[in-house]
Each structure stands twice: as structure tokens, then as C-alpha cells.
Structure 1
Amino acid sequence: MDIIAYLASPASFVHLATLCYVLGLLTRNELILRTFLMSGSLFYILYYYNIGDRPLWEAIVASSLIALSNVPVIVRIFKERSTFGMSDEMLTLYRSFPNFNPGQFRRLMRKAQFVTVDQSTELLHQGIQPTHLYLTTSYGFSLIRDELKTELGPDNLLGEISFLLGGPATATVIAEAGCSYVAWEVSDLRDLMQRSQNIENAVTVLLSQDIARKLAVSFPQKSARPPLIVDLPKAVTPPL
């Protein structure tokens, strides 16, 4: 059979549609699967349009609906895997969440509150259960544990030990006027984690890594007080 004549025949459209369906069902990648299924439906539309003296409109409409049903899923998958459309501010913030994919990060940010304080504000109080989890995005935060004090800069999680273990805050944190931070209500964040196992895993890993990073550069004090690094930069801040 002449190859050009075959490619122009309705039979080729059926064969190509079948090939797309088979290849799609053999892959574990959902984006590739959906792309193949939509392509197969498009080839069937070409087949139904050319097979008879007139197009088979009922079959064309059915195949069109099948093809279109894949579009929102493909868009959702693309948003899950791409940072397209994020503002520069959000892209900068996204770097603080290396174990989140873009879709998980977007869902987490929908629960977030972006705050710039206009006066000195206490975020955490030592010995009291926090109601929020915080991420600092600027300088000007003071951490006080007993009589010891240190300054915090951006990219510090606050209240992570309390969130993971359910205990009270181990230090007091005060945000000075002009500071900015991101806050999540503990109840909202736990609800989000309950509805998505992937987000629960990502949040747990993020908080655990933050605690491990802080503990790795901490060292015990000679006094009986809990260990605390005083007047050192963010990288050596003890866990809260």
C-alpha cells in the first residue's frame, strides 16, 4: 500500500488512535497518559469525519467530549509542576519550600496570611501554646528564652516544635515595627494536611529539616538553662 495513500485514509486514523490509547495506558506519567488519550480522541474525530459520505456527528460529539475532558486535568497537572504565573515575591518565597512542588506550594499559600507589622508585636510567648506557625521574611525579630536574647532574620520557621509535638512555645518571639512574615493558623494547616497526604509529608519534612538544621549548629551552654545561641545569625538559631 502506498504510504501517502494510507496516511490519508480513514483507516490510518483508527490505527493512530489505537496506538495513542495503548501508549497512554502503558505509561505511569499522568500528563503523558492524558496527552495520549486526548490525541487518540482527536484521531477518532478525524476518522468519524472522513469514514462515510457524511460525517458521523454523534460519534464526533462523543469523542470531542472525551477529548475535552482531558483538558482541565492537563491544566491542573501543568500547574502542579510549573511555577508559571507566580509573582517574583512568590517565587522568592517558594525557594524556602524546596521539598514542595509548585501545586502543593500554591495550596499552602492559599491558607497563608502575609503580614507587615506597624508596631512591636509578640508572635510567640514562652510556655504558651501557639495558635500559628510563622515564617519570617525580613530582619528585625527578637527571640527571648529565659534571660537570653538573639536576633532573627528572614527564612526562619517559628513554632515548628510546638506544631510537630503539640507542646507550648519554647521561647518568646517579638516582631519589631516594619517586620514582615507569613503565618498559618495551626487549625487550617492541620486540616489541609489531613486532606492531602502529600502535603502532610511535605510539611513534616520541611519542619523536621528546619529543626535538624538548627540543632546541627547548636551547642549546649555551661549553665543549667536550655541551650541557646546568642547574637548569632539565622543559620545558628535554635529550634523553637
Structure 2
Amino acid sequence: MEDLILTDYLVFAAAGIFVLGYLIINQVVLRMMLLIGTALYIWYYAIVDSTPLWPAIWASVATGTANIVGLMGLFYRRSAWAIPKEFRDIYPLFNSLPPGDFRKLMRATSRVARPDGYKLTAAGTNVSTLYYILEGEAHIEKPNGSFSVPQNNFVGEVAYLTGNAASGTAILSRESSVLEWDVNVLKRHAARDPRFRLALYALISVDLAGKVSRSVSTGSLED
């Protein structure tokens, strides 16, 4: 067997890095490994023959560039720069979400002030808006009792998830600052964008978990 030369080592190294990259779940590390492998392949195509293999080089440059764009997108979604300025003050309430997922969720919402007595949901009617109380409180009336929903909670999330009518009437008990999502718009976003859907469901799951822990004393879940 002839002695291995530099080009052989380049091919083995590039192929090995690609294989290792495909075994890694972390998207950032995977893309970094593929980028290194692509660079090694470009080096190989440049020196394997007396004339560089330009078609292969340009093809590798194209795939490497696409990889870099995707990598920058991953870094952006995880950076504070992805958080919209108008929602940076409330991001700590949603910090279970990466900044990029938080940005997607906030792009579909309106941040508004609603007066005392404003009706959020009505028992027996379809829920057209999903609410999150930033500051304030809502009073819930159900056939089996009544209770209050403090700030930093969703209202209407059970009806949103199930598609059923609201099981109770929710009315703000004082002037409140709320986030509002149009349910139809939210569902369209969720259908088109799996990341958006997962981000929303993650938030609602945390909210429901807290409500379940309180349901022993209230006897039911809030709307």
C-alpha cells in the first residue's frame, strides 16, 4: 500500500468530521462540525490535482455559506438582540423560551390596557382571544364556584387548546395590562411554524401546571 499523502488525510478528516457532526444533536455544534468538514473538502479540491476542481469548490462554498447563514440564525435566536424592545421588560416572565421563540410569540400579540369590569371570556361562548394578564387581576365565575386569577397568568388557554367554549366568565376586577392574541391568527401561526407552536404550548403548559397545583383549593381549572 502506498504511503498516505496530504490529500488522503484531508478526505479522511473531512469525512470523519461529517460523521461525528451527524451524530451530534446540538444544532450549533453540528453546524460547526459540518463547516469544518466543508473547509477541509475545499482544501482537498484545491490541491488534489494540478488544477483546482473549481465546480466542486464552488459547490462546497455554496453549501458552506448556507450553513453559515443557518448558524448565524441559531446564534441570533439565542441572543438578547432577538427580543423586541417593547417587550424586553416582560421577557423575564417568559424566560423559559429562547429569545427567538419569544420574539415570534410577541410579534403575534397586542399589549393593551383594559378597564375594570372588562369581560375577557363569557361562559358557553367560543373564545376568540387568548389573554395573558401582565398587571392586574381577573375574577372567574363558574357554575361550581368563583375565584381570582392573579397577574402573570393566561386566561382562555384551556378553551384555546381544546377548541371548546369557555366554561366560565372572566372579568377584570381592576384596570389591567394584558397581552392579547387573536385565536385564529395564533392557530394559523402555529400550523405554519412548528417552533412557534412548541413555544406557545411550552408557555401554556407551565401556566396550566401552576393552575393544576392550585386547583385542589379552587376545585376547577381557570379558563
**TM over 0.5: same fold?**
yes
Number of residue-to-residue matches in the alignment: 213
What is the deviation of 1:17? 1.9
Tell me what 1:93 maps to.
93
Question: What 5-or-longer segments of structure 1 have no aligned partner?
Answer: 1-5, 222-226, 229-237
What is the deviation of 1:220? 6.6
SS at match of 2:37: helix
Q: In the alignment, residue 145 of structure 1 is paired with which amino acid?
A: E
Identity %: 25
Tell me what 2:169 maps to.
171
Shift in alpha-carbon separation, 1:78–1:130, aligned structure 2, 3 A: same
Shift in alpha-carbon separation, 1:182–1:175, aligned structure 2, 3 A: farther
Tell me what 1:104 maps to.
101
Q: Is the 8 A contact 2:14 2:40 kept in 1?
A: yes
Question: What 5-or-longer segments of structure 2 have no aligned partner?
Answer: none
Alignment of 1:239 onto 2:222: yes
Shift in alpha-carbon separation, 1:182–1:67, aligned structure 2, 3 A: same
Give the greater-gyration-radius structure (CA).
1
Q: In the alignment, residue 94 of structure 2 is paired with which amino acid?
A: Y
Of residues 196-205 and 35-44 in structure 1, the stretch that sits farther from structure 2 once superposed is 196-205
What is the deviation of 1:37? 1.8
Shift in alpha-carbon separation, 1:215–1:44, aligned structure 2, 3 A: closer
What is the deviation of 1:12? 4.0
> Aligned equivalents of 1:125 and 1:43: distance in 2?
63
RMSD value, Cα = 3.5
Tell me what 1:67 maps to.
64
Shift in alpha-carbon separation, 1:49–1:128, aligned structure 2, 3 A: same
Q: In the alignment, residue 48 of structure 1 is paired with which amino acid?
A: Y
Scaled by the length of structure 1, what TM-score is found?
Answer: 0.69
Tell me what 2:127 maps to.
130
Q: 1:42 aligns with which of 39, 42, 53?
A: 39
What is the deviation of 1:135? 0.6
